[in-house]
């Protein structure tokens, strides 16, 4: 380390409040202090949106420790609580300083030498107070959140789609509405995330959308207009604006409980993973022959199924015609009540989980487990058929212009529509394939 270089450590908590300076404010103040102390160069170590009180690893702080372990250094921070807030972290730093000379300079709170007994005493007193203050603040925040829950208010902090007072934020609420609509016609969270990123919609935390973010929105209590009072877990009447209907909330919860749909399988082709083999019933996969022809074929784990190999271009054309025709002329199906479906599926899933635990613990043998599981699998299958009817009905309610626009621009949308309007495709429905390339 050059003697004219100071190490600057910057950190801002995940739960930032107005009492702490921003990263840029810390940088400006620490750089100015380093200059006043006579340092010409600075090296920055930054942890942004990382609390020093929690158990999360701070990469910037760990890099700082590695740097000061090899040579004497001066560390400049905005305040000592930016550097550490837990006693064990301070002791880790003090152990390191037994073999290194380090001086701490703070914009707020002055400076002290951790290589001297007086400096270490001062540091231990400060970190003990900071640790107490963090724990006390956490208790206050938790109590405040309990009060908000008891009144049916949103949890404190920002919530995508909502303003702080619980009213809908128009633009973000429209995006959440789009996410729900797409999910209920069959798009997977990952496909929805790709669509939003493609359309240039900013993610809640900036950058690109991902499937996890979409899933968090779909499973959030705020979307389903519910709040629980801890620790009793009693349901509290929510008083923020409702974004989706009760039936839509029930259908989203139902979709999350059922096995993944064929349309949610990742594919760059129209029918890959959707078509099923006429011979063995397995899903067909997309491929290309040595002559460059696109095909759909069945491959088992060990060898190719003797079933037919289908010309992908012809099948895509046939299924496209059939799906658009179905959208234009099909009657809306009868749909079962969503709440009844949800209760049935939820009970079946809970029973399956219970039997699996019993099997794992040795209380059920394999045959006994299968005997218990089979009727529940049939319940899930029937529930999936009921949910598929709701998906089909929602596709058929789309405006004609919207349907054709999205059909022309979105492969995930086309796959979801095909699964909704033309279920159980086996390579012969709805039109007989004109070519068999297996020979």
Neighbours of 409 (CB within 10 A): 12
Separation of alpha carbons 110 and 166, rounded Å: 43
Question: Comparing 11-20, 34-43, 70-79, which segment has the lowest mean pLDDT?
Answer: 11-20
Mean pLDDT of the chain: 82
End-to-end Cα, the chain, rounded Å: 72
Residue with tokens 């950058």: 207
pTM above 0.85, yes or no: no
Task: Give 397-423 pLDDT, tens digit per residue.
Answer: 999 999 999 999 999 999 999 999 998
Task: Give 118-163 pLDDT, tens digit per residue.
Answer: 778 877 877 777 777 777 676 666 655 555 555 555 665 568 888 8
User: What is the 3-class SS of 175-238, one letter each residue?
Assistant: HHHHHHHHHHHCCCHHHHHHHHHHCCCCCCCCCCCCHHHHHHHHHCCCCCCEEEECCCCEEEEC
Neighbours of 142 (CB within 10 A): 11
The 10 Å CB-count burial string (b at 16+, else e) for 377-388 is eebbeebbebbb
Instruction: Evaluate whether 200 touches 208 at the Cβ level (below 8 Å).
Output: no
Q: Are strands 102-108 and 73-79 parallel, antiparallel or unpaired?
A: parallel
Task: Give 226-250 pLDDT, tens digit per residue.
Answer: 876 665 566 677 778 889 999 999 9
Torsion of CA 282, 285, 289, 290, to 10 degrees: -110
User: Running DSSP on this structure, what letter comes out for residue 270?
Assistant: S
Over range 69-91, report the average pLDDT: 80
253's CB contacts (< 8 A; 6+ apart) are: 224, 342
Q: Are strands 102-108 and 110-113 parallel, antiparallel or unpaired?
A: antiparallel
Question: Comparing 100-109, 300-309, 379-388, which segment has the lowest mean pLDDT?
Answer: 300-309
Separation of alpha carbons 372 and 382, rounded Å: 17
Neighbours of 72 (CB within 10 A): 12
Q: Residue 61: which of 50, 72, 74 has the closest Cα? A: 50
- Counting other chains too, the contacts that 230-235 makes at CB distance below 8 Å and 24 or more residues apart are 230/146, 230/149
Instruction: Evaluate whether 273 touches 392 at the Cβ level (below 8 Å).
Output: no
Separation of alpha carbons 315 and 122, rounded Å: 77
């Amino acid at each position: 380390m050059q003697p004219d270089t100071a190490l600057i450590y910057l950190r801002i908590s995940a739960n930032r409040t107005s009492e702490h300076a921003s990263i840029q404010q810390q940088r400006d103040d620490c750089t100015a202090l380093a200059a006043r102390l006579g340092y010409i160069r600075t090296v920055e170590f930054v942890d942004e949106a990382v609390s020093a009180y929690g158990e999360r690893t701070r990469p910037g702080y760990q890099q700082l420790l590695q740097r000061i372990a090899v040579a004497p250094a001066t560390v400049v921070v905005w305040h000592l609580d930016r550097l550490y807030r837990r006693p064990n972290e301070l002791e880790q730093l003090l152990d390191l300083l037994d073999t290194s000379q380090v001086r701490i300079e703070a914009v707020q709170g002055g400076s002290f030498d951790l290589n001297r007994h007086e400096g270490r005493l001062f540091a231990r007193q400060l970190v003990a107070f900071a640790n107490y203050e963090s724990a006390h603040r956490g208790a206050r925040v938790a109590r405040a959140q309990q009060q908000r829950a008891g009144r049916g208010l949103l949890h404190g902090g920002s919530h995508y789609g909502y303003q702080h007072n619980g009213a809908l934020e128009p633009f973000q609420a429209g995006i959440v509405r789009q996410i729900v609509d797409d999910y209920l016609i069959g798009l997977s969270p990952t496909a929805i995330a790709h669509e939003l990123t493609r359309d240039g919609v900013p993610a809640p935390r900036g950058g690109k959308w991902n499937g996890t973010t979409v899933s968090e929105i779909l499973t959030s209590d705020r979307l389903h207009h519910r709040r629980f009072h801890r620790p009793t877990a009693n349901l509290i009447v929510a008083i923020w604006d409702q974004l989706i209907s009760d039936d839509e909330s029930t259908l989203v919860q139902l979709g999350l409980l059922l096995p993944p749909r064929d349309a949610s399988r990742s594919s760059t082709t129209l029918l890959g993973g959707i078509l099923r083999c006429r011979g063995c019933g397995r899903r067909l996969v997309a491929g290309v022959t040595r002559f460059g022809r696109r095909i759909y074929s069945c491959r088992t784990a060990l060898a190719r199924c003797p079933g037919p190999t289908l010309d992908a271009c012809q099948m895509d054309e046939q299924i496209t015609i059939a799906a658009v025709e179905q959208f234009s002329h099909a009657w809306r199906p009868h749909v079962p009540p969503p709440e009844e479906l949800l209760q049935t599926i939820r009970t079946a899933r809970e029973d399956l989980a219970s039997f699996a635990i019993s099997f794992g613990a040795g209380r059920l043998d394999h045959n006994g487990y299968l005997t218990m599981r089979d009727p529940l699998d049939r319940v899930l299958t029937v529930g999936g058929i009921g949910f598929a009817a709701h998906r089909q009905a929602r596709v058929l309610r789309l405006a004609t212009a919207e349907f054709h626009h999205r059909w022309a621009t979105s492969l995930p949308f086309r796959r979801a529509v095909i699964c909704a309007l033309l279920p159980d495709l086996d390579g012969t429905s709805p039109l007989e394939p004109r070519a068999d390339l297996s020979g």
